[in-house]
Structure 1
Amino acid sequence: MIATRFSVATHIMLLMTLEPASRLTSPRLAGSVNTNPVVVRRIMRLLSHAGLVRVRRGQGGAALGRPPSRISLDDVWLAVNPVRLPLLPLHANPDPECPVGRHVPSIFGERFGAAEIAMRDALAAITLEAIAMQISKATKAIAG
């Protein structure tokens, strides 16, 4: 199972993009995500270490660390997945005597690696600004 840190982190950063003047504290962000403020603080720590957000201690809240046009979804992905484990890991120790088992590591590894590269390339092409514009447009369509 892939953790939801990435979607939660993106959600948090989109709220910062769309409400830059708001005092975005961990309880406020957690309410939007519908999770515990502790989860938000853990993710915020990762985003802060990556320079994607600035956190003001206490009641200060948080803000983006750079313009949303300069933050890609791949930046967010890398921030919340600091340990570079494969997205699609191989199962351990296939039988080398089996005609399938002996080829699984090389064939699957190559294809799984290509899939991860394609995903990262797709994420790199999408900015927070682009998604925020989609959300704004959808919100206006619903309201009017």
Structure 2
Amino acid sequence: MVATRFAVAIHILLLLATEPGGQATSGRIAGSVGTNPVVIRRLAGQLARAGLLRVRRGPGGAELARPPEEITLAEVWMAMRRPGLPLLPNHPGPRMNGDALGRAVPGLLRGVLDDAERAMEDHLSGVTLRELHARVVEA
């Protein structure tokens, strides 16, 4: 679920970086994303609380809070994920009377999955919205 919210949030921010001010309404963005304007407004609220965009009431009332070269994908990722919930869930292991392996695997795997998520976040911190925007323009 967080990966979907992240992708839609990136779409929202790219549209705001691309379209002239006042044209990127929630309806326009929803049409581009292929979802409902309510979903766009909810995610825009999360992005605004994270300091990535500013929202004003009325049509076309959203704009980037900072230039695209100052917004990293890691910031968008953190705005969309729910604290305490890992991206890669793990099975809990046996509730009672498990063998030593059964008790050990969940903790071992959790460490590996957490390392993978940190590596992804590190990579995302090196990619800016401007870089993605340039790729869109090239395409």
Matched position secondary structure for 1:103: helix
Deviations 1:49-69 (A, max 9, x none): 011001110224211010110
Tell me the residue number matched to 1:14: 14
Partners in 1 of 2:101 and 2:39 — Cα distance? 42
Q: Is the 8 A contact 2:14 2:129 kept in 1?
A: yes
Tell me the residue number matched to 1:29: 29
AA matched with 1:43: L
AA matched with 1:89: P
TM-score by length of 1: 0.87
Q: Is the 8 A contact 1:46 1:79 kept in 2?
A: yes
Partners in 2 of 1:96 and 1:39 — Cα distance? 45
> Offset at 1:23?
2.1
Q: Is the 8 A contact 1:23 1:62 kept in 2?
A: no
AA matched with 1:128: L
**Which structure 1 residue ranges, 5 or more long, are not aligned?**
139-144
Deviations 1:7-44 (A, max 9, x none): 00000101111124342111011011010000000000
AA matched with 2:76: V
Q: How many residues align?
A: 138
- Structure 2 counterparts to residues 21-100 of structure 1, below 5 A: 21-94=21-94, 97-100=98-101
Partners in 2 of 1:83 and 1:63 — Cα distance? 26
Q: Is the 8 A contact 2:29 2:37 kept in 1?
A: yes
Partners in 2 of 1:20 and 1:58 — Cα distance? 16
Partners in 1 of 2:75 and 2:48 — Cα distance? 12
CA-based RMSD of the aligned residues comes to 1.7
**Which structure 2 residue ranges, 5 or more long, are not aligned?**
none
AA matched with 1:130: E
Question: Identical aligned pairs, as a percentage?
Answer: 49
